[in-house]
Chains A and B, each alone.
Chain A
Amino acid sequence: MDFLTLVQVLDSTIRLATPLLLACLAGLFSERAGIFDIGLEGKMLAAAFFSAAVAFMTGSVWVGLLAGIGASMVLSALHGVASITFRGNQLISGVAINFLAAGMTVLIAQHWFSQGGRTPSLSGAARFEGIVWPGALTRIRDIKEAGPLMQVYSELISGHSILVYMALFAVPATWWILYRTRFGLRLRAVGENPAAVDTAGVSVVGLRFAAVGICGLLCGIAGAYLATALQAGFVKDMSAGRGYIALAALIFAKWRPWYALMSTLLFGFLQALALRPDLIETAVGVKVQVQLLDALPYILTVIILAGFVGKAIPPRAGGEPYVKER
């Protein structure tokens, strides 16, 4: 395996890890505040559809991004109302959101565009293009002849869409919010011991809604990235289980932002590697089944959950609606 191939696999890793990372951070905010959210998948899907549909109609990808975030936040609000205000079961509400998004997107797409539950292809300003950094090479032939540093710069660092850089920036931002601000402290506290937060005179409901709102925002960006940056349009069920892998990554990361970056990059790398069975064959000398690589994220999560690699302890008040008085 030559150096450029490795760089290309890492490049693919970043593209595949970005939606996972955004969804994982979204889940992190929500779960740190004590609201389990298995509706990440549905929110991503809804955001993917609305960002592509609105970007197509307005011709501007930024308006599309806002529409995607809006759609995702509406579903978040629904989850919040069901599980915070009405103290419903958070898992059931999440499952309902997944079903709702899967059906609704195709139904509306069919009604608006009559293309079998797809949006028309996006082009030009209706799509996020890769940002080419100054001095970076774009043609694969030039990159092949360049030195290793230039290859890393041109292939790996430059050329991603702005959402990728936003996702990477979201990691330190999340860390800073959670561990260095008053809001973050309260948010973490509300997931561990909401009664204490309430005693201190801070609104538990308000904090939890804020967390669910941030979750919607990040899921919205993740969905828009799928439909308007990686792809040029929406196809039904295009999130293809990424929301669930993000949940696995969240457990793997033990609900911490920097670990979330590591775990999603690892899962992204495994997915990228699964695309190149020929590389594994030359590296290991044995033909490894692609299915095994596809299953690895889940296998790793099960190992973590079984307690082999440290302990993954979820927020203590996670999954339980807060009842002030009985």
Chain B
Amino acid sequence: MTLMTKFLGAAAAVALTAGAAMAEPALIFDLGGKFDKSFNEAAFGGATRWAEETGGEFREIELQSEAQREQALRRFADAGANPIVMTGFAFGNVLSEVAPDYPDTKFAIIDMVVDAPNVRSVVFNEHEGSYLVGMMAAMASESGTVGFIGGMDIPLIRKFACGYAQGVKAVNADAKVVANMTGTTPAAWNDPVKGSELTKAQISQGADVVYAAAGGTGVGVLQTAADEGILSVGVDSNQNYLHPGQVLTSMLKRVDNAVYDAMTAGTELETGINVMGIANGGVDYALDDNNAELVSEEMKTAVDDAKAKIASGELMVHDYMADNTCPALDF
């Protein structure tokens, strides 16, 4: 036993000295996986950009199970990584326990607010970005009915839906928004077959543009929309390329910028709450060669106008998570 303790002590000492020397940043991916074509992949993109520009190196780990969360955090903190960036709201509870144990390490968490002196909480105004794509969907729709398909039914996804519905109603007050959630368990993020059937069900209700905020399920939504000849809207990363000419636009959530900023700041990372909205380029709509023909001049002018108004604070988009209600949509 004493031998064991000595070994552990020695290991810790080595780790501490090594940590002080390196202080390289670390990135922890959530369960969706590093290459999810969406959220985590955007984070990886930001870290890679930082590494290429500065020549620095970062450590990373992809979580395989819930149980690894705390372990991964403590391992990186013990090894002296600084700052430690993690993606996903699910880290919230764990981080609020771990952060006070490592007062000299800086942490950055994306999509969640953790109140600790050494934590930077990055949250996105998804409702603002969704508002913009909602406007575009309403303008592109000929039937006056548009759809929304969410993944797991959690407040964050309702926030997407609510912003979207407000954007739709801003363009066409009589428009109908059909909103469905795929499920109530994490399996809802990876059920493209159900996403596909939901899309077909929405089409039979008249929808001719659908917005998918549903992770892997969204792949099925976009695919069915393309097969059935209606338009779809992607989410998080730019998904326009998945079906060129059939994806109206994508709601961009610049997770890559958040990670890049955190890594660039390094140990000097500013803590506190960092809101990434339209005003500071945190959310946006995607425009590239794949959807250039779908987005009319009129659409672009209207959306850019709304963008400027939201940025200046003239136009307020209601945030579902602020009071758990939505003025434009009934759940």
Q: Which residues of A contact B (CB under 8 A)?
A: 5, 8, 12, 15-16, 19, 110, 114-118, 121, 140, 226, 230-233, 235-238, 240-241, 271-272, 275-278, 290-291, 294
Q: Are B41 and A230 in contact (CB under 8 A)?
A: no
A212 to chain B, nearest CB (A): 26
Closest CB in chain B relative to A161 CB, distance in Å: 12
A-B pairs with CB below 8 Å: how many? 82
Residue contacts A-B, CB under 8 angstroms, 21 given:
A8-B200, A8-B201, A16-B197, A19-B193, A116-B33, A116-B41, A140-B203, A231-B196, A235-B192, A235-B216, A238-B190, A240-B187, A240-B190, A272-B197, A275-B194, A275-B198, A276-B201, A278-B178, A290-B181, A291-B184, A294-B184
Q: Is B242 an interface residue (CB 8 A)?
A: yes
Docked Cα-Cα span, A291 to B331, in Å, equals 13
Q: Which residues of A contact B184 (CB under 8 A)?
A: 291, 294
Cα–Cα distance between A110 and B36 once the two chains are bound (Å): 11
Task: Find chain A residues with CB under 8 A from B180 CB.
Answer: 275, 277
Using known A-B contacts A272-B197, A290-B181, A294-B183, determine if residue A115 contacts B35 with beta carbons closer than 8 Å: yes
Within the assembled complex, what's the spacing in Å between the Cα atoms of A116 and B308? 36
Q: Say whether B201 contacts A236, CB under 8 Å.
A: no
| A233, B190: Cα distance in complex, Å | 13
Contact of B33 among A16, A117, A233 (CB under 8 A): A117
Contact at B223–A121, with CB atoms within 8 Å?
A: yes
Say yes or no: A237 contacts B187, CB within 8 Å: yes
A106 to B183 Cα, complex, angstroms: 22
The 3 A-B residue pairs with the shortest CB-CB distance, nearest first, are: A116-B35, A240-B191, A275-B201
Do A12 and B201 touch (CB < 8 A)? yes
Contacts of A236 in B (CB 8 A): 33, 190, 216
Which listed residue, A15, A115, A231, A241, touches B220 by the CB 8 Å rule? A231
- CA of A204 to CA of B266, assembled, Å: 68
Does B54 have its Cβ within 8 Å of any Cβ on chain A? no
Given A15-B197, A240-B191, A275-B197, CB of A235 within 8 Å of CB of B183: no
Inter-chain contacts of B203 with A (CB < 8 A) = 140
Interchain nearest-CB distance for B146 vs A (Å): 15
B204 within 8 A of A: yes
Q: Shortest beta-carbon distance, B85 to chain A, in Å?
A: 19
A237 to B219, CA, bound (A): 13
Name A275's closest neighbour in chain B (CB-CB): B201
- Distance in angstroms from B262 CB to nearest chain A CB is 23
- Asked if B37 CB lies within 8 Å of chain A CBs, one says yes
Which residues of chain B are within 8 angstroms of A19 by Cβ–Cβ distance? 193
B42 → A minimal CB distance (Å): 12
Contact B223 A238 (CB under 8 A): no
Question: Which residues of chain B (193-238) have a CB below 8 Å from chain A?
Answer: 193-194, 196-198, 200-201, 203-205, 216, 219-220, 223, 227
Closest to B194 in A: A240
**A115 contacts B37, C-beta separation under 8 Å:** yes
Residues of A within 8 A of B181 (CB): 290
- Least CB distance from B185 to A in Å reads 9
> How many chain-B residues does the 8 Å CB contact rule pick out?
31
Q: Any chain A CB within 8 A of the CB of B120?
A: no
Cβ contacts under 8 Å, B227 to chain A = 232
State whether the Cβ of B158 lies closer than 8 Å to any Cβ in chain A.
no
A230 to B192 Cα, complex, angstroms: 9
Cα distance A117–B34 when bound, in Å?
Answer: 10
Q: Say yes or no: A232-B223 contact (C-beta < 8 A), given A12-B200, A117-B33, A276-B201.
A: yes
CB atoms of A110 and B35 under 8 A apart: yes
Contact A237 B190 (CB under 8 A): yes
Known: A8-B200, A116-B36, A231-B223. 15 other contacts (CB 8 A): A8-B204, A12-B197, A15-B197, A116-B41, A118-B216, A121-B242, A140-B203, A232-B223, A233-B219, A235-B190, A238-B190, A238-B216, A240-B187, A240-B191, A278-B178
Q: Tell me whether A231 and B193 are in contact (CB under 8 A).
A: yes
Bound CA–CA A12/B34 (angstroms): 34
Q: Which of A226, A233, A278, A294 contacts B205 (CB 8 A)?
A: A278
CB contact between A238 and one of B41, B191, B197 (< 8 Å): that residue? B191
CB atoms of B37 and A116 under 8 A apart: yes
Q: Which residues of A contact B35 (CB under 8 A)?
A: 110, 114-117
What A residues does B200 contact at CB under 8 A?
A: 8, 12
Which residue of chain A lies nearest to B330 when distances are taken between CB atoms in the complex?
A: A287
Task: Given A118-B219, A275-B201, answer yes or no on A238-B183 (Cβ-Cβ < 8 Å).
Answer: no
From residue A70, how far is it (CB to closest CB) to chain B in Å?
Answer: 22
Identify the closest chain A residue to B227 (Cβ): A232
- State the CA gap A276–B206 with chains docked (Å): 13
Q: In the complex, A264 Cα to B150 Cα: how many Å? A: 26
Within 8 A of A (CB), among B20-43: 33-37, 41
Interfacial chain B residues near A238, Cβ < 8 Å: 190-193, 216
Q: For the complex, what is the distance from the CA of A101 to the CA of B37, rounded to whole Å?
A: 22
* Nearest-Cβ distance from residue B219 to partner chain A, whole angstroms: 6
B194 cross-chain contacts in A, Cβ below 8 A: 240, 271, 275
Contact B187 A226 (CB under 8 A): no
Alpha-carbon distance A308/B192, docked complex (angstroms):
35
Question: Which of chain A's residues have a CB closer than 8 A to the CB of B216?
Answer: 118, 235-236, 238
- Bound Cα distance A237, B191 (Å): 8
Chain B, residue nearest A230 (CB):
B193
Question: Which of B33, B187, B198 sits near A241, CB closer than 8 Å?
Answer: B187
Most buried by A among B41, B183, B197, B205: B197
- Give every chain B residue within 8 A of A226 (Cβ-Cβ): 193
Cross-chain contact B198 with A116 (CB below 8 angstroms) = no
A230 and B201 contact, Cβ closer than 8 Å, known pairs A115-B37, A235-B190: no
A114 CA to B41 CA in the complex, in Å?
A: 12
User: Complex: how many Å from CA A277 to CA B178?
Assistant: 10
Q: In angstroms, how far is the closest chain B Cβ from the Cβ of A214?
A: 24
The complex places the Cα of A232 from the Cα of B205 at a distance, in Å, of 24
